[in-house]
Structure 1
Amino acid sequence: MGEHERPTAEGGFDGGDGGVGGDGGDKARRKPSDDTAPVPPQGGGNSISGGELGNVIMAGAVHGGVTFNSRGGDTPSDLENPVIASVQLRPGGTLADLVVDADPPRVMVPSGTVHVITLEARTNRAVVLDAARPVVLARRPPRPACLLTRIGAKIEPRRFTTDFDVRVPQMRAQGADFPFSISASDVEQFWFEPIARTHEIAWQLELDWTCAGRRGTTVINNNGEPFEVYPVAALFDGRADSVLNSGCGLFHEQGCPSLLLEEAGAPTSLWTSTRSSSLPSYPAPGGPRAAAGAATAPPHRSDDDDNPEDLRRHILALHAALVVSDPELPASWPDYRKIASLVRTLFHRPHHRGHESQEFRALLVQVLRYLYVSGQHEPGVTLGRIAAAAWSEALGKDHPDTLAVANRLAGCLIGLGKHAEARDLLADLLPRCERVLGWEAPLTLTVGSNLCACLFALGAHQEARQQCEDVLRRSRLALGPDDPRTLRAASNLAIFLRRLDDHQAARAVLEDTLQRYRRVLGEDHPDTRHAKRDLVALLRELGEPERAQAVAGDLPAGP
């Protein structure tokens, strides 16, 4: 019971035996006379149920709640750290899931997410909250990420915001400002909105307080680890996606980090339901990886650690160490995904366009091929546009590497279904390749084959067939009939012939091509499997199911 609080007791003090404590016994209850003096409390204290209390109030009946405290209820530890803080999240102006393409992918808190910080006191004494300040522990350039926006989720105005892009971030009050006070029965709740536009931020909140003549600071963080915030603005360049954006809209694009995380059985969202009445707690350190028993270190890296030249050298070293370097092979994709993520991070840096060395330019062309064959066409187009424009300016439009990167850009445009744009690009590219490299050059032949695909997709079937037959003829002369690029040209021709209902001609080309693929690349190569699937489908159309089954054999379901 507090120092100045007393319970309301029916019958008042009872010096007899009907209450708690006193003499005990079963004597009949009697009312004291008017001149009976109350018994003063014993100096040695009273013992009740094994506890030592200073004073004891004896009452027959008590109405309402009664709180008993021992000497004010404040232990030394309560006063040393009197503030209890808990953090939950509310969506910002837009409810969105954000997964960063880290190694492995992980959920992060997007900029603008409201941190609901509830503060209460361990002590009954008033704790004055003098001030709060956000502290940046680390900054790093943003990594590629998948942002999937949900519908709805407009919220009430926030009370505090902080712009982490300024040198010394400050909390900005949207209403009442410090100081505040809290106690065990008087709780404060802050709505705190961290804003970041250029860097991933690792941060914590420091809260200064005064209690019982003591001053101290409580650090509010994520269970001993920093809070983190991702700069959503970095995923956009005006109205268009930036090079960091996975291209996901209402649905995930192939190869995005959210799908990779989902395949691993980990959650991909902070928000279990848009209609949930409860708020999610801050994600555990390391995000979804924690469920798998592995910890992820926060981004404790300075700007100096991410010098563009150092990052470029690191990317080249990773590429040189690849065990499988051919991006056509799915076995290489996990390593290429890491390299592609770093390349996109590098190209997001201002004034860096990766044309400084021939080695790096060759690597970028390989990365664009990986993005195409793995189905990541949107980031491939964005990266390809940046590189093609920068290299045209720095190296010239007819430089072989500029021509190569433009061809990869066209391939990703085809993957997105932007056939008209790809056709125009390739139609301009082909004569320049012939002039600079010669008609027999592998790049010239690849550009011609890609142009065939665009023409056919746009309905120019006969023109596409003639162009493809010409490319195949030149490829056989220049590269040989067993070169993988020649075989891809033959596979493309077979597809065109089949769609033009020239099934027998398509069958002859496919049977010859499949035999060569098996000999040159092996049974398990993706190109071999694609050719086998095309032939199996054609044989079934021709009414030869037994022959189709014999060709299929143990053909796997995947690509």
Structure 2
Amino acid sequence: MSEHDRPAAGGGIDGGDGGGGDEASRRTPDNVAPAPRKDGNYISGGHFGNAVLAGTVHGGVTFNHGGGDTPSDLEDPVIASVQLRPGGTLADLVVDADPPRVMVPSGTVHIITLEARTNRAVVLDAARPVVLARRPPRPACLLIRIGAKIEPRRFITDFDVRVPQMQAQGADFPFSISAADVEQFWFEPIARTHEISWQLELDWTCAGRRGTTVINNNGEPFEVYPVDALYDGRKPSVLSSGCSLHHAQGCPSLLLEESGAPTSLWTPATASSRPSYPAVGGPQAADAATAPPNCSEDDDPEDLQRHVLALHAGFAVSDPELPASWPDYRKLASLVRILFNRPDYRSHEPQEFRALLVQVLRYLYVSGQHEPGVALGRIARAAWSETLGEDHPDTLAAANRLAGCLVGLRKYAEARDQFADLLPRCERALGWEDPLTLTVASNLCGCLSALGAHEEARQQCEDVLRRSRLALGPDDPRTLRAASNLAIFLRHLDDHQAALAVSEDTLLRYRRVLGEDHPDTQHAKRDLIALLRELGEDDRAQAVAEDLRAGP
């Protein structure tokens, strides 16, 4: 997948004065010294009178606006608009809502432009950020595009404190303006633990009137996403999609891209100018299945767990192996990852939830979302090992899913070590004929082959296949997966005729047991096509390929 275009340098941030170029019409009386000029002030878009760009107000700021003056002007004398500038890093952030949507990452600078609607003096008495909602962060895709240095950063607000305040970074209010000068004040909202919905309230005094102007996103709250929640130290957290230079499979950005909607605030059209605040839906626009509730300190994560269980009970298709179930499992996995991101959450009860978690881990593996699967699996294995014991069947099942996701990330050595540790535990706790024991043994063979030990993998796989046929039967899907693995190992050892016999028998059984459209049947067809082409049997390979194309 290609990288995004780099935005043009400068971004239109540093400019001249806000006078719109009509300097001849602004004459200073001969007996009055001209006001000192300020560098770095800029407003685009034509001629302006007086304007203030404010991130916070601690004292009085007065500005005048030339032109007509009506009663309605005095009732609401402030015009506000908002533009964005990247924070310390230019990045795209898409939240796994339903549907996925772009959100503003923490640290993005909000440049708030305030203009006077009246020719009277307007005093800006105070400005304050108001938190409208706090929500546990949802899973998200964060794709770093390019570093971006900001200067200056004038005001910040830490939304993690109980009562957020606007803090000046350098010069503080009061400020003054004149007809020829415009001040710029940049506001940087910071969130680390919760998604925040917020607005800015600006108190003003004008012509003996007092009022408050609410600054928001066209009637909807501003939003900020806590980027820190996507990291656990230097590793991706359970909320991260695992994207780095490129998007990972299954990430919300790819899903949003498929819909044709923009996936970035910083499109090529806005690369040379500051984009306006995005017209994206607020939290109320997200589906109730994926929007976490407003959060308070005494929120009970068990309530969300019960919601997850109820959501799963309503699935039309509950098998995570089937792509038809993936849209529902995506919603479910998003909520499960929100739960596991909470440090106070205890995931080991009830047993019904543990079984569901193992299904979610399987969904993440088969849908290609390996990074979230590893993060989620590590947390579950550690928590259940402590509360249930390392040899508890559910702990062993979660560890097997974790190791499978490591295979998906091609961390074969780590996965091999985990499977090798799991196998004797499973045999001791469950017995050699248990399906999980046989699955772990088959998975270990796959890791050995991936690390180049094809002969060792073949020998062990033949033993696993023999035991699986005895315990589960020759047509059990787990037996057939072991047979598929054996055919692959035989190909690596150049025993193509033996591999062909196993592949053809396995495909016939898959068709009979699972049907033509099952993913395992489709994979078996692809493996047979590759083997036939290696043997030079192109006509037979073409016939299987046409049969494959006729599938889903």
State TM-score, norm by structure 1. 0.84
Match of 1:144 in 2: 139
Equivalent residue in structure 2 for 1:118, among 96, 113, 116: 113
**Pairwise mapping of residues 19-418 of structure 1 onto structure 2 (< 5 A)?**
73-180=68-175, 187-273=182-268, 276-286=271-281, 301-303=294-296, 307-418=300-411
Measure, in 1, the Cα distance between the counterparts of 2:317 and 2:300.
Answer: 28
Match of 1:419 in 2: 412
Query: C-alpha deviations, 1:40-68, integer Å up to 9, x for none?
Result: xxxxxxxxxxxxxxxxxxxxxxxxx9x9x
Match of 2:487 in 1: 494
Kindly state the Cα deviation for residue 298 of structure 1 after the two structures are TM-superposed: 8.8
Larger RCO, structure (CA 8 Å, separation 6 or more): 2
Q: Does 1:555 pair with 2:548?
A: yes
Measure, in 2, the Cα distance between the counterparts of 1:376 and 1:74.
Answer: 60
Q: Is the 8 A contact 1:202 1:299 kept in 2?
A: no
One-letter amino acid of the counterpart of residue 343, structure 2: P
Kindly state the Cα deviation for residue 552 of structure 1 after the two structures are TM-superposed: 2.4
Q: Does 1:514 pair with 2:507?
A: yes
Work out the number of aligned pairs and report it. 493
Measure, in 2, the Cα distance between the counterparts of 1:214 and 1:183.
Answer: 22
Which moves more between the two structures, 119-128 or 100-109? 119-128
Specify whether residues 481 and 184 from structure 1 end up closer, same or farther in structure 2 by C-alpha distance, changes over 3 A only. Answer: farther
Measure, in 1, the Cα distance between the counterparts of 2:413 and 2:293.
Answer: 46
Q: Does 1:436 pair with 2:408?
A: no
One-letter amino acid of the counterpart of residue 237, structure 2: S
Q: Is the 8 A contact 1:316 1:360 kept in 2?
A: yes
Specify whether residues 509 and 299 from structure 1 end up closer, same or farther in structure 2 by C-alpha distance, changes over 3 A only. Answer: closer
Q: Is the 8 A contact 2:97 2:287 kept in 1?
A: no
Kindly state the Cα deviation for residue 356 of structure 1 after the two structures are TM-superposed: 1.3
Measure, in 2, the Cα distance between the counterparts of 1:296 and 1:80.
Answer: 42
Match of 1:505 in 2: 498
Measure, in 1, the Cα distance between the counterparts of 2:259 and 2:303.
Answer: 32
Specify whether residues 239 and 274 from structure 1 end up closer, same or farther in structure 2 by C-alpha distance, changes over 3 A only. Answer: farther
Query: C-alpha deviations, 1:96-154, integer Å up to 9, x for none?
Result: 11111111111100000000101110112221111100000000100111111112211
Kindly state the Cα deviation for residue 511 of structure 1 after the two structures are TM-superposed: 0.5
Measure, in 2, the Cα distance between the counterparts of 1:122 and 1:182.
Answer: 16
SS in 2 for 1:128: strand
Measure, in 1, the Cα distance between the counterparts of 2:258 and 2:496.
Answer: 39
Measure, in 1, the Cα distance between the counterparts of 2:151 and 2:272.
Answer: 15
Which moves more between the two structures, 388-397 or 265-274? 265-274
Kindly state the Cα deviation for residue 547 of structure 1 after the two structures are TM-superposed: 1.3
Measure, in 2, the Cα distance between the counterparts of 1:305 and 1:179.
Answer: 40
One-letter amino acid of the counterpart of residue 339, structure 1: L
Kindly state the Cα deviation for residue 558 of structure 1 after the two structures are TM-superposed: 9.2
SS in 1 for 2:549: coil
SS in 2 for 1:150: strand
Specify whether residues 313 and 297 from structure 1 end up closer, same or farther in structure 2 by C-alpha distance, changes over 3 A only. Answer: closer
Q: Is the 8 A contact 1:110 1:230 kept in 2?
A: yes
One-letter amino acid of the counterpart of residue 484, structure 1: P
Match of 1:448 in 2: 441
SS in 2 for 1:267: coil
SS in 2 for 1:129: strand
Equivalent residue in structure 1 for 2:521, among 522, 528, 533: 528
Measure, in 1, the Cα distance between the counterparts of 2:511 and 2:254.
Answer: 32
Measure, in 1, the Cα distance between the counterparts of 2:175 and 2:336.
Answer: 48
Specify whether residues 295 and 423 from structure 1 end up closer, same or farther in structure 2 by C-alpha distance, changes over 3 A only. Answer: closer
Match of 2:5 in 1: none
Measure, in 1, the Cα distance between the counterparts of 2:287 and 2:431.
Answer: 53
Specify whether residues 253 and 77 from structure 1 end up closer, same or farther in structure 2 by C-alpha distance, changes over 3 A only. Answer: same
Measure, in 2, the Cα distance between the counterparts of 1:501 and 1:332.
Answer: 38
Kindly state the Cα deviation for residue 557 of structure 1 after the two structures are TM-superposed: 9.2
**Structure 2: 5+ residue stretches without partners:** 1-24, 28-46, 50-65
Equivalent residue in structure 1 for 2:534, among 524, 531, 541: 541
Match of 1:61 in 2: none
Measure, in 2, the Cα distance between the counterparts of 1:206 and 1:401.
Answer: 51
Kindly state the Cα deviation for residue 214 of structure 1 after the two structures are TM-superposed: 1.3
One-letter amino acid of the counterpart of residue 311, structure 2: L
**Structure 1: 5+ residue stretches without partners:** 1-5, 9-64
Measure, in 2, the Cα distance between the counterparts of 1:98 and 1:115.
Answer: 16
Give runs of ≥4 in structure 1 deviating > 6 Å.
182-185, 287-290, 293-300
SS in 2 for 1:384: helix
Q: Is the 8 A contact 2:136 2:292 kept in 1?
A: no
Q: Is the 8 A contact 2:329 2:360 kept in 1?
A: yes
Measure, in 2, the Cα distance between the counterparts of 1:423 and 1:173.
Answer: 54
Specify whether residues 305 and 87 from structure 1 end up closer, same or farther in structure 2 by C-alpha distance, changes over 3 A only. Answer: farther
One-letter amino acid of the counterpart of residue 418, structure 1: K
The alignment's C-alpha RMSD in Å is 2.7
Measure, in 2, the Cα distance between the counterparts of 1:252 and 1:447.
Answer: 30
Kindly state the Cα deviation for residue 186 of structure 1 after the two structures are TM-superposed: 5.7
Equivalent residue in structure 1 for 2:457, among 454, 464, 479: 464
Specify whether residues 274 and 404 from structure 1 end up closer, same or farther in structure 2 by C-alpha distance, changes over 3 A only. Answer: farther
Match of 2:469 in 1: 476
Q: Is the 8 A contact 1:456 1:496 kept in 2?
A: yes
Q: Is the 8 A contact 2:516 2:551 kept in 1?
A: no
Measure, in 2, the Cα distance between the counterparts of 1:225 and 1:297.
Answer: 19
Measure, in 2, the Cα distance between the counterparts of 1:437 and 1:72.
Answer: 85
Specify whether residues 355 and 426 from structure 1 end up closer, same or farther in structure 2 by C-alpha distance, changes over 3 A only. Answer: same
Kindly state the Cα deviation for residue 294 of structure 1 after the two structures are TM-superposed: 11
Q: Is the 8 A contact 1:121 1:182 kept in 2?
A: no
Kindly state the Cα deviation for residue 336 of structure 1 after the two structures are TM-superposed: 0.4
Which moves more between the two structures, 179-188 or 451-460? 179-188
- Higher alpha-carbon Rg: 1
Query: C-alpha deviations, 1:20-55, integer Å up to 9, x for none?
Result: xxxxxxxxxxxxxxxxxxxxxxxxxxxxxxxxxxxx
Which moves more between the two structures, 86-95 or 122-131? 122-131
Match of 1:50 in 2: none
Measure, in 1, the Cα distance between the counterparts of 2:213 and 2:96.
Answer: 33
Specify whether residues 252 and 155 from structure 1 end up closer, same or farther in structure 2 by C-alpha distance, changes over 3 A only. Answer: same
Query: C-alpha deviations, 1:426-461, integer Å up to 9, x for none?
Result: 111101101110101000000001100111111111
Kindly state the Cα deviation for residue 353 of structure 1 after the two structures are TM-superposed: 3.8
Measure, in 2, the Cα distance between the counterparts of 1:274 and 1:412.
Answer: 39
Equivalent residue in structure 2 for 1:485, among 478, 484, 487: 478
Measure, in 1, the Cα distance between the counterparts of 2:134 and 2:484.
Answer: 49
SS in 1 for 2:433: coil
Kindly state the Cα deviation for residue 212 of structure 1 after the two structures are TM-superposed: 1.3
Specify whether residues 538 and 73 from structure 1 end up closer, same or farther in structure 2 by C-alpha distance, changes over 3 A only. Answer: same
Kindly state the Cα deviation for residue 534 of structure 1 after the two structures are TM-superposed: 0.8
Specify whether residues 304 and 556 from structure 1 end up closer, same or farther in structure 2 by C-alpha distance, changes over 3 A only. Answer: farther
Specify whether residues 318 and 285 from structure 1 end up closer, same or farther in structure 2 by C-alpha distance, changes over 3 A only. Answer: same
Measure, in 2, the Cα distance between the counterparts of 1:484 and 1:7.
Answer: 83
